[in-house]
Chain A
C-alpha cells in the first residue's frame, strides 16, 4: 500500500508556489522547513506513544481537495488575518509549535493564511471573540487552519471557536487540521473555548500550543458534542512563575464517533498551578481516549497539579482508553491524578424511579449532571447556559434542531 503521506508530498511539490503566492512572508519563511520535517517524519503510527489511539494515516488517506480561498474575517480592533498583521509576528509564528509533530508540520506547510487575535497591553475586548468554522459545500475538502493568539501583558480575552459541519451535502467529507499557538504574557488572562458540532463525515486534528508567562492564567475548554473523528492535542508550557493553567474537556460519543484528547502540561517554572478535568460519556460504538501527562522539570518546585479523567460507558460496545501520566523530576511538588471508568449509580437511579421519574429520564438526568461538572466551570455565563441546553438536547438526540441561539445562527 502506498503511504498516505506520499500524496501530500506530491501535492506540496505541485502547489507550493501557489500557496506561497497567496500567503505572506512570515508564513512562507518557515514553510519549506516544515515541509522537509513532514517528509522525513511521515504520519505518526500507533507505535508512537502520543498517537496510540488514533490511526492518523488512515484518516489522511482519502484524496481531499485543498481549500485556498481567502478567509472571511470581520476585521476588528483585535482580529486580523495573519497576512496583514499589525505587529511583527516573526517572533511568534510557529515558535510555540512542536517541530517534531508531523501534523503541525503538515499544517505549517500547507496553510496559506490564518487568524491573529492580538490584544495589546492592559486591554481587553468588551465581548468574547467568536470564530466560526463552517464546513459546507459539495466537495470533499481538506482545510488547514491556523490561529495565533497573543495577549500582551495585562491583557484579557475570551475566544470561542465553533466548529460546525452538518450543512453540507451527503457523500462529502471534510478533513481539518488546526494549529493554535497561544502566547500569554505577564498577568494576562485568556479563556479559550472550542466547541465541536460536526458529523460523522468530519475528521479533525487540532494541535494547541500554549505558552504561559509569569502570573498569567489560561483556561482551555474543549467540548466535543458531535463529531466523526477528532484528535485534540494540547501542549501547555508554564514558563513563568505563578502561571496557572486549566484544561477542561467533555466528550459525548455515540455511533461510530472517535475522540482522542491528548494533553501535556509542562511545568518549567516553579510555583505554578495546573488543573485538568476531562469527562466522557460514550454510547453506541464510540471510542474515547484520554492521555494526559504532567511533566514537572527539576526546577519547577512548589508545583501543584491535578488531573482528573472520569468516564461513563453507557453501551456494551463503547470503548474507553484512559492514560493519566505523571513524570516528575522535582521533589517539592503536589501532583495527583485520578481516573475512573464506571457505570451509573444504581441507587441514584432507583431513588429517582421510586419518585416516578421514568428510567430513561433518570439516566438522562444523571448523564447531564455528570457533564455538568465540566460545564459549571465555564465562567462565561451565556455560553454555560447555552451548553447546558445543547448537552441536554444532545443526549436526547436533538442536537441539530437548535436554531434559536446566536451560536447556531
Chain B
C-alpha cells in the first residue's frame, strides 16, 4: 500500500510542453458570425465568386441546423458569436515592403520543432505551417513542383489552381454533411492542398503543422488531398495550442480523393491543449475527416494518435467505392484528467471485394471518458466485402470510463464482418513481473501502455512514432496510483 500512496503523492502536474504563446502582431477581425463576416473572410483571401457562394450556401444551411448531441461527451455550450473567425499573424509583413516572415513566427515554429528554413528541416519532409487562419510558409514547394506535385496552402491553391480546387472541394464532405462541416465550409481559412499527378510517388513526406495562437479565435482549417492514378503520398499532420482558460474551437475538414491504383497514408499526432487538471480550458476538437476511394485497387490508411484536446469528436472515415479498394484505420486515443474523446471511424463499403481494417486502442485515466464509435456499412452491391475491427480499451484508475459503440449495417450476404472489443485494466501479473525486475510501477505502466499501443504506433512514419511514444508517456504521467 505504501508504494501506492507514494505514487498518489508523486502525481506530478506535468506542464503541457507547447503551452506558450507567441507575441506577434495579429490582425483579428471582429468577433461574431454573420454573412458579412463570411464575405469579409472571402474578400481577405481574394476569392472568386463561386467560392464565396459556396461559403454563403454553407452558412445559410448551418443556420438551419442544431448542434448535435449524440456523442458521449459533455460539450459546453458554444457561443458562436464570441469567437473571431479570422486571425492573421502575417498581416504586418503583407502590408510592409519587406516580405520576410516575422522572426517571432520563425522562432515559434523552431520551438515547436518545425524549422521553416529548408536547410534546417528534417530531410525528406515538406511542411506547410499554419498559424491561426493563415499559412505562414510551405517548404520545398519548388522541389516538389518539379515532379508536378502541388503542395501549398488552400488559399494559394484557390488562386493558382482554381479548376482543381473547384472540382474536388466539397466533393467528399459536402457542406450539408453535418453541423460542424457546414460551419467550416462557411468560414474555413487556411489548410493544405495536395495534388499528386498520375504515376508519381511523392519523394518526401508532406506535412502540415497547425498552431492556434491568438485568443478567442477558432481555427477552421480545410485540407484537400487528391492522389491521381497510380500515385502515392504520405501526409502527416500535427497540432498544438497555447494554454488558455477558455475553450478554443477547432472545426476542421479533411477531404481525400484516391484514384485508381493510388495510395494515401494520412497520419495525425493530435496534441491540442487538453485543459488543466481541473478541466478548465482546452481545445474543442470537432473535425470531419473523410477519404473517398474512387478508383479500383486504391488504398487509404488513417493513423491517428490522439492525446490532446479537452473534447475530441472525430471520425476519420472511408468511402470504398472503387472495386478492390482497401482502407485502414489505426487509432490510439489517450484521455487523462477531464478529457473526453468520442472517436472512431466509418467504413462504407460500396465497391466489390473491398476490404477494411479497424484497430482502435483507447486508454483512459484520471476522470476522463474515452469512447470508440464506429460504423461498418456494407451496401447491397458490395459483394465480397471484408471488415475486421478490433477495439481495445484500457482503464487506468477507477474514476474514468471506457466505452465502445460499434454499429454494423450489413446488406450483402457475401460480406464477412468481424468485430471484437475488450475492456480491461493493466494486468497485475505484468506489473509484478516488471516490479520484480526493479522497474518502478510508473515506468512499468509506460512500458505496458506502449506495448499495448504498438500495433498502431508501428504504422506511423519514423519521426512521428518517436514523438508519439514520448507523448503517450507524458499524457499518462501521474496516472498510476
Chain A interfacial positions (CB closer than 8 Å to B): 49, 298, 301, 311, 313-343
- Inter-chain contact B413/A324, CB cutoff 8 Å: no
For A314, the chain B residues whose CB sits under 8 A away are: 413
A340 (CB) vs chain B CBs: closest residue: B418
Within 8 A of A (CB), among B63-105: 70, 72
- Inter-chain contact A337/B415, CB cutoff 8 Å: no
Q: Which one of B399, B405, B408, B422 lies within 8 Å of A336 (CB-CB)?
A: B422
- Inter-chain contact A342/B403, CB cutoff 8 Å: no
Query: In the complex the two chains form, what is the Cα distance from A326 to B405 in whole Å?
Result: 7
With contacts A326-B423, A328-B393 taken as known, whether A341 is within 8 angstroms of B404 at the C-beta atoms is: no
- Inter-chain contact B420/A331, CB cutoff 8 Å: no
Query: In the complex the two chains form, what is the Cα distance from A337 to B390 in whole Å?
Result: 10
Query: In the complex the two chains form, what is the Cα distance from A326 to B369 in whole Å?
Result: 13
- Inter-chain contact A342/B416, CB cutoff 8 Å: yes
Query: In the complex the two chains form, what is the Cα distance from A329 to B411 in whole Å?
Result: 34
- Inter-chain contact B397/A331, CB cutoff 8 Å: yes
Q: Which one of A298, A335, A343 lies within 8 Å of B399 (CB-CB)?
A: A298
Query: In the complex the two chains form, what is the Cα distance from A322 to B380 in whole Å?
Result: 16
Assess whether B239 is interfacial by the CB under 8 Å rule. Answer: no
For B405, the chain A residues whose CB sits under 8 A away are: 323, 325
Assess whether B398 is interfacial by the CB under 8 Å rule. Answer: yes
Q: 14 additional contacts, CB 8 Å, given A329-B401, A333-B395, A341-B378?
A: A301-B398, A316-B412, A317-B380, A320-B409, A324-B419, A326-B404, A328-B395, A331-B396, A335-B422, A337-B419, A338-B419, A339-B408, A342-B415, A343-B415
- Inter-chain contact B410/A319, CB cutoff 8 Å: yes
List 8 A-B pairs, minimum CB-CB distance, nearest first. Answer: A331-B395, A313-B413, A322-B408, A326-B404, A341-B417, A338-B420, A339-B419, A341-B410
For B403, the chain A residues whose CB sits under 8 A away are: 325-328
Can you report 30 residue pairs joining A to B where beta carbons are below 8 Å apart? A301-B398, A313-B413, A315-B413, A318-B413, A319-B411, A320-B408, A321-B407, A322-B406, A323-B406, A326-B402, A326-B404, A326-B421, A327-B72, A328-B423, A330-B395, A330-B398, A332-B398, A332-B425, A333-B424, A336-B420, A336-B422, A337-B419, A337-B421, A338-B418, A338-B421, A339-B417, A340-B416, A341-B378, A342-B418, A343-B416
Query: In the complex the two chains form, what is the Cα distance from A321 to B375 in whole Å?
Result: 10
For B414, the chain A residues whose CB sits under 8 A away are: 343
B375 (CB) vs chain A CBs: closest residue: A323
For A335, the chain B residues whose CB sits under 8 A away are: 422-424
A interface, over-half SS: strand
Query: In the complex the two chains form, what is the Cα distance from A321 to B420 in whole Å?
Result: 15
- Inter-chain contact B408/A341, CB cutoff 8 Å: yes
- Inter-chain contact B421/A321, CB cutoff 8 Å: no
For B70, the chain A residues whose CB sits under 8 A away are: 49
Assess whether B126 is interfacial by the CB under 8 Å rule. Answer: no
For A321, the chain B residues whose CB sits under 8 A away are: 407-410
For A298, the chain B residues whose CB sits under 8 A away are: 398-399
With contacts A324-B421, A336-B421 taken as known, whether A316 is within 8 angstroms of B413 at the C-beta atoms is: yes
For B407, the chain A residues whose CB sits under 8 A away are: 321-323
- Inter-chain contact B413/A343, CB cutoff 8 Å: yes
Assess whether B400 is interfacial by the CB under 8 Å rule. Answer: yes
For B412, the chain A residues whose CB sits under 8 A away are: 313, 316
Interface centre among A298, A328, A337 (most CB of B within 10 A): A328
B392 (CB) vs chain A CBs: closest residue: A336
- Inter-chain contact A331/B417, CB cutoff 8 Å: no
Chain B interfacial positions (CB closer than 8 Å to A): 70, 72, 378, 380, 393, 395-425
A228 nearest CB across to chain B (Å)? 21
B72 (CB) vs chain A CBs: closest residue: A327
For B409, the chain A residues whose CB sits under 8 A away are: 319-321
A367 nearest CB across to chain B (Å)? 13
For A319, the chain B residues whose CB sits under 8 A away are: 409-411
A14 nearest CB across to chain B (Å)? 38
With contacts A323-B407, A324-B406, A338-B420 taken as known, whether A331 is within 8 angstroms of B425 at the C-beta atoms is: yes
With contacts A335-B422, A343-B416 taken as known, whether A325 is within 8 angstroms of B404 at the C-beta atoms is: yes
A283 (CB) vs chain B CBs: closest residue: B413
B409 nearest CB across to chain A (Å)? 5
Query: In the complex the two chains form, what is the Cα distance from A319 to B413 in whole Å?
Result: 8
Query: In the complex the two chains form, what is the Cα distance from A322 to B411 in whole Å?
Result: 12
Q: Which one of A315, A331, A336 lies within 8 Å of B398 (CB-CB)?
A: A331
Query: In the complex the two chains form, what is the Cα distance from A327 to B406 in whole Å?
Result: 12
For B419, the chain A residues whose CB sits under 8 A away are: 322, 324, 337-340
Query: In the complex the two chains form, what is the Cα distance from A343 to B410 in whole Å?
Result: 12
Query: In the complex the two chains form, what is the Cα distance from A350 to B378 in whole Å?
Result: 26
Query: In the complex the two chains form, what is the Cα distance from A213 to B211 in whole Å?
Result: 54
For B396, the chain A residues whose CB sits under 8 A away are: 331
B409 (CB) vs chain A CBs: closest residue: A321
Query: In the complex the two chains form, what is the Cα distance from A243 to B404 in whole Å?
Result: 24
- Inter-chain contact B415/A341, CB cutoff 8 Å: yes
Interface centre among A313, A323, A326 (most CB of B within 10 A): A326
With contacts A327-B403, A328-B402, A332-B425 taken as known, whether A340 is within 8 angstroms of B417 at the C-beta atoms is: yes
B418 (CB) vs chain A CBs: closest residue: A340
Interface centre among A314, A317, A335, A341 (most CB of B within 10 A): A341
